[in-house]
Chain A
Amino acid sequence: MQDYRHSRWITAALLAPAGVFFVFLLILPLVVVLVYSFGARAPAGGYEAAFTFDNYLNLPARGKAFFNTLTLAPLGTLLTAIAAFPVAYILALKTDPKWRVTLLVLIMAPFWTSQLLRYYAWIMLLGSKGIPSWLAYIGIADLRIINTPTAVLIGAVYGFLPLMVPPIYVSLEKLDKRLLEASADLGATPLRTFFQVTLPLALPGVATGSMLVFILLMGDYILPQYLGGGKVFFIGNALVDLFLQSRNWPYGAAVSVALVLIMFLTISLYMRFILSRTDKRRAALV
């Protein structure tokens, strides 16, 4: 018995397959990208061995893409969280338990229809024959939404709400209702109860959901491409262009490295912030 529990062979056998996957399909390719990022573009495009920092020095040429991504991705995440929280709250605390799961599934279900088709549908809804033409009836004329940052933000909330609601719902569902009652008994206003009891306890769920949505938004290509029309340019669009249009692999590699570094930096700062705010054990689950 003791043998099996401490057998190194079993431990190794359990960890090895995932380890091999990570090392050969994650670390190795990332190292290749890092190596490429110091290379040069071959005359007809692609990669040519070299050692230069030019690709990194040239990063400011994509400054606007980094800026757009770094403003719209957090803003989109925030808006999604703000839109999702009341949904999760109503479902977890104010809904008949019989209907809860069904309603939650209905929130998530859109995720199973092609994302591309859903965004394509939004192109029609936001185009001048869609919502703007209805708004024209009530006097708001010549409203242009499609191919603007607003359209991208609407798309972000739309696309990621189904991913944001469940984790918040789970953390609110676990919330002990007696705490809320106690708070009310002690004379706290509902608003105060919300801010001092409900919200802090729901934070792990908000943090999980936000992180997931943020990661997906930071690397998004389809959303800015479809609803930004080539005008709202994300790093994802810059990368697709560099690899699948201008064939500048080394520069694309440098942009990838920069994106990954930004992800690490923002997420570790974010985790530190969340950890300082919440019960450490719970955050460890995040």
Chain B
Amino acid sequence: MTKVTGHISAEEFLAQLRRYQKGSISRRQFLGVTGLGLATAVLSSAVPGFRPRKAHAALSGTVNFTTWPSYFAQENLDNFTKETGVKINVAVFGSNEEMLAKLQAGSTGWDVFVPTNYAISTYKELGLIEELDLKRLPNYDASTQEQRFTAEGVIDGKTYAVPKDWGTTGFVYNNKNITQNPTSWKEFFDLTQGPWTGRVMVHDYQLTTIGNALKYHGFSFNSNDEKELAEAEKLLIACKPHLFGINSDYKPSLISGDAWASVCWTGDATQLQRDMPEMKYVLAKEGGEIWSDFYAIPKGGQNVDAAYALIDYLLTPEINAKEVQAHGYPSTDSRTNKLVPKEMLENPILYPAAELLSPLEFGAAATLTNPLRAEIMARFKAA
């Protein structure tokens, strides 16, 4: 922070104040020269509301924020811009593979992005993300996080990513059109090839699409066994002509009524159900995926200060609670959960029953990077 320069005469103080008012020196310089920086620092640690504004004093420019579709509260981003003057450029992606591909190709210009638990170790190995300086994230508190969701952000004792929220991967269906009451991946894929033909969507993402096809056969979501993958591929290719589309952004088609069912993440189900109570979210009884998403800073970011400020802002419990209400994914932070309306905490989409949660698996790093899986997905799409 600012260097404290000791005492300063009244004249000198006024001269500096005038310079600051004219804009010839920055606020930061002014605070430093006059020693007010120290006072501000002391004050700000005492008054919580004061903290963010001081930290933002030196911020400017744009922060490039790469995340998933409908995964933030626009209101929060707007307020961040209002408070700090930093513009936020949001780009959304359909899969961790797509993010990885962009980062590998280089020069993305991203400042903050949102990797999923199993992707972080790969980013670290490839040297694509920065180790986080937790001192610059005063609003993050590891002790209030649920450990099973935060573990993969820390590698060899160093923190590379801080948790955003967690969720599950099930499927959603519209019970106005669908009367079968499906409860399993078996039914999901079988009915796709029957009465639901032309009305079902799967993700444009190998990890979930292949993973759920593996669950159909009772294999592990993370299986990398060639024979098991071959069976999953056969199922997917058999379903292909019956699908409405292959897209990770499936909400618009479900809302317009073109699609009746889709592989679906927690928050999308929450958001859909808000306006369309006929949308039912199912965690299949065979199991499927449980995951957590993180904030991370890629190597070579242009606006690292703003990146830290944005992450810190979004992790502030009051702000994070607004995030949760907008995107509909449960937070990993117990402080945030205290601020979330009760009906959300009781919503079974966000907090499924224990017997449905227990068969779920966390995705593994090898599941993401297995070239055979990538090729199977590509063959399925091209089929």
Contact = CB atoms under 8 A, between A and B. Distances in A.
B341 interface: no
Given A46-B104, A65-B382, A246 B371 contact: yes
A61 B101 contact: no
A44 B382 contact: no
B371 A129 contact: no
B44 interface: no
B382 A246 contact: no
B374 A247 contact: yes
A102 interface: no
B119 to A, nearest CB: 11
Nearest to A62: B382
Interface string B238-272: 00100111110000010011100000000000000
Interface in A32-47: 41, 43-46
Interface in A238-256: 238, 241-248
B244 A233 contact: no
Nearest to B255: A129
A238 B380 CA distance: 11
Nearest to A243: B101
A64 interface: yes
Contact of A245 (B98, B247, B379): B98
Residue with the greatest number of chain A CB neighbours at <10 A, chosen from B102, B198, B246, B258: B258
A65 B104 CA distance: 26
Given A41-B371, A128-B258, A247-B101, A238 B378 contact: yes
B247 A45 contact: no
Given A64-B382, A128-B257, A231 B245 contact: yes
A254 to B, nearest CB: 13
Interface string A104-138: 00000000000000000000100111000000000
Contact of B244 (A46, A64, A229): A229
Contacts of B369: 43-45
B31 interface: no
B100 A247 contact: yes
A129 B245 contact: no
Interface string B98-116: 1011101100000000000
Contact of A230 (B97, B245, B375): B245
A44 B256 contact: no
B234 interface: no
A127 B257 CA distance: 9
B122 interface: yes
Nearest to A233: B382
A61 B379 CA distance: 6
B342 to A, nearest CB: 36
Contacts of A144: 198
B101 A245 contact: yes
A124 B101 CA distance: 31
A147 B374 CA distance: 23
A183 interface: no
Interface residues of B, number: 34
Given A230-B247, A231-B246, A127 B256 contact: yes
Nearest to B257: A128
Contacts of A152: none
B198 A247 contact: no
Nearest to A225: B247
A244 B204 CA distance: 12
Nearest to B102: A244
Contacts of A230: 204, 245-247, 381
A245 B382 contact: no
Contacts of A64: 382-383
Contacts of B256: 124, 127-129
Interface in B193-213: 198, 204, 206
B122 A44 contact: yes
Contacts of B101: 45, 243-247
A246 B378 contact: yes
Contacts of B379: 61
A146 interface: yes
Given A45-B100, A128-B256, A246-B97, A61 B247 contact: no
B192 interface: no
B122 A247 contact: no
A238 B104 contact: no
B84 interface: no
B91 interface: no
B246 A229 contact: yes
B382 A147 contact: no
A278 interface: no
A230 B382 CA distance: 9
Interface in B48-65: none
Contacts of B97: 245-247
Contact of B104 (A127, A147, A247): A247
16 contacts: A41-B371, A45-B371, A61-B382, A127-B253, A128-B256, A147-B258, A230-B245, A230-B246, A231-B240, A237-B382, A241-B381, A245-B374, A245-B377, A246-B371, A246-B374, A246-B378
The 10 A-B pairs at the shortest CB distance, nearest first, are namely: A246-B374, A229-B245, A230-B246, A65-B382, A244-B101, A247-B101, A128-B258, A233-B382, A245-B97, A127-B256
Interface of A: 41, 43-46, 61-65, 124, 127-129, 144, 146-147, 229-231, 233, 237-238, 241-248
Given A127-B256, A243-B101, 18 more contacts: A44-B122, A45-B371, A61-B375, A61-B382, A64-B382, A144-B198, A229-B246, A231-B240, A231-B244, A244-B105, A245-B377, A246-B206, A246-B371, A246-B374, A247-B97, A247-B104, A248-B374, A248-B375
